[in-house]
Structure 1
């Protein structure tokens, strides 16, 4: 329980550059490692297993002392690429895996055989105890200030509850945009922090300059929850387009979601449409600006290289 993230991953600063769909990439993580923190990329950012394998090989070559890298896996049945992704990651090797949205049991089993640590996303004590019992090396405590699919509990309440009841390190995710935020999370008992939104406006992020600039121009008060992307509440910047389409599911979506036979298919279709819209907004010039971000963009004042963003977080 007393193991700090710096010791767990052999990094200089207790920070993980959080995995972000469409945003995280090899260049970002390389610069993160050179800056003394860990970087993580969603395996789903790669269309093929060959692309994923190449990314791992590249990061292994770029790794420096004081840095670490890992990958995020969606471990439920909706990710049909999961088994192949896990196999490639275990074959090639990395420092850690972060699991999301499902049971991490198989990931923990296979990753530990390959000498890879496994950290698991949780939003409450119930799931924290489950992943601890399965052998997780640390818990990613996703609080109600996280970007994207967030939790419902405040950082302080969630961290203190998990620290008091779990015997593995607790890594706080959400609500960190500056050094003072990190110090606050560590004071609650966190072993380290996972930071995402501030890195959207990094030079290395391969998203549009409009998306990056939005993270500069908008702030915490402009972050809203929407049900229109994946069917699960998700935080986005409240752009004019988001205001136009609204943030609540339509009446027909709500009706179909109540049908036990159709619910699964409706959610899959909604997820597919929403993810395509998010991808287009992040990577192309479009008026349909659905930009995922968290309230920590409040501290984003300019588009900067990753190394400068890290410096602002640690000094």
Structure 2
């Protein structure tokens, strides 16, 4: 059975979601993306308060144009203490879609579907893809080993093919798309669309520091490394001098605590909070502690450009 395309699922012109990026994504980026015919997504955690989250939804609803779409990303595990209230706001205000990450999407799917909101779920393997299909997800975000931030372990072709063979849900590929040729490759592998993040970090509209944006221009795919020292979960970052100095592996104490059944949950929550605070400082302030999250698709980033121009390079 032919799977529904991303353009049909979200009523957009091009099969592209501007991926939700912690600290990077904002309403201005999404508005420009919608004007260019793609979907945009913002992490709910980018907003400190529920009132700010609500205001952002209202801004996007007022700015929505034909051919564009908007949604929000929810962290659905216990590390996000705001999850339930964020979900309530999204459902009350009304958004086009929600992307779930790092936990069970069961409650999100149930509540979102009551008000006609589609739910796409981040997965990195077939087993979880099958679970979210059973829970009623509308599509799968297949996070491969070329994604920025928290990535998967499988290459795009292998992951897309495996999920297509074992589920009936549309597959949206996340990771490794920095130009039109990459997008076409993912579609040829069997994806119905793509989720693109790192190329938009160096957009004029993104809210991070000029230094972070310029780093995405100056560094290449060879400079992307995996670190365990931000959130406790392996994460891809630019290999800045500071990252080289502190190393990318957990200390012996961190490893012990993460394996201890008693301490594991609390250590993970504390580590996630500390890591996100450190990332926030590096992303928004001039500091020698530069921990800049990005994926290898920055290889195609040659200049700081408007969102509209980046979309054009992906789909023209």
TM-score normalised according to structure 1 size: 0.99
Alignment of 1:83-122 (within 5 A): 83-122=84-123
The DSSP-based 3-state class of the residue aligned with 1:16 is strand
| Matches of 1:9 and 1:151, distance apart in 2 | 25
1:95-139 CA-partner distances (Å, limit 9, x unpaired): 100000111111111101111000000000000000001110000
* Matches for 1:22-33 after TM superposition, within 5 Å: 22-33=23-34
Tell me the distance in 1 between the aligned counterparts of 2:56 and 2:285.
23
1:232 aligns with 2:195: no
TM-fit CA distance, 1:255: 2.1
Could you list the per-position Cα deviations for residues 140-178 of structure 1 after superposition, in whole angstroms to 9, with x for gaps in the alignment?
000000000000000000001111121110000000000
Q: How does 1:278-293 map to 2 (within 5 A)?
A: 278-293=279-294
Q: Which runs of 5+ in 1 are unaligned?
A: none
Match of 2:14 in 1: 13
Q: Which whole-Å CA distance do the structure 2 matches of 1:267 and 1:257 have between them?
A: 7
The answer (yes or no) to whether the contact 2:79–2:272 under 8 Å persists in 1 is no
Alpha-carbon distance in structure 2 between the residues aligned to 1:257 and 1:132: 30
Q: Which runs of 4+ in 1 moved over 6 A?
A: none
Match of 1:255 in 2: 256
- Residue 43 of structure 1 corresponds to 44
Task: Give the Cα separation in 1 of the matches to 2:150 and 2:90.
Answer: 24
Structure 2 distance, partners of 1:167, 1:264, is 34
Q: Quick check: 1:140 aligned with 2:149?
A: no
CA contact (8 A) 2:257 2:263 kept: yes
Larger deviation: 98-107 or 257-266?
257-266
SS in 2 for 1:41: strand
Q: Cα offset for 1:269?
A: 2.0
List runs of 5+ in structure 2 lacking aligned partners: none
Distance in structure 2 (CA, Å) of the matches to 1:189 and 1:42: 27
1-side partners of 2:258 and 2:184: how far apart?
42
What secondary structure does 1:285 align onto? coil
Give CA deviations for 1:250-289 in whole Å, capped at 9, x if unaligned: 1111122232212222222222221111000000110000
What's the RMSD between the two structures over aligned residues?
Answer: 0.7
Task: Please give the secondary structure, in 2, of the residue aligned with 1:110.
Answer: helix
Query: Does structure 1 conserve the Cα–Cα contact (< 8 Å) formed by 2:5 and 2:192?
Result: yes
Aligned 1:150-229 pairs, distance under 5 A: 150-229=151-230
Which residue number corresponds to residue 81 of structure 1? 82
The structural deviation recorded for 1:51 is 0.5
User: How many residue pairs align between the two structures?
Assistant: 315
Contact 2:100 2:120 in 1 (8 A): yes
Task: Report if the CA contact (8 A) 2:75-2:102 is conserved.
Answer: yes
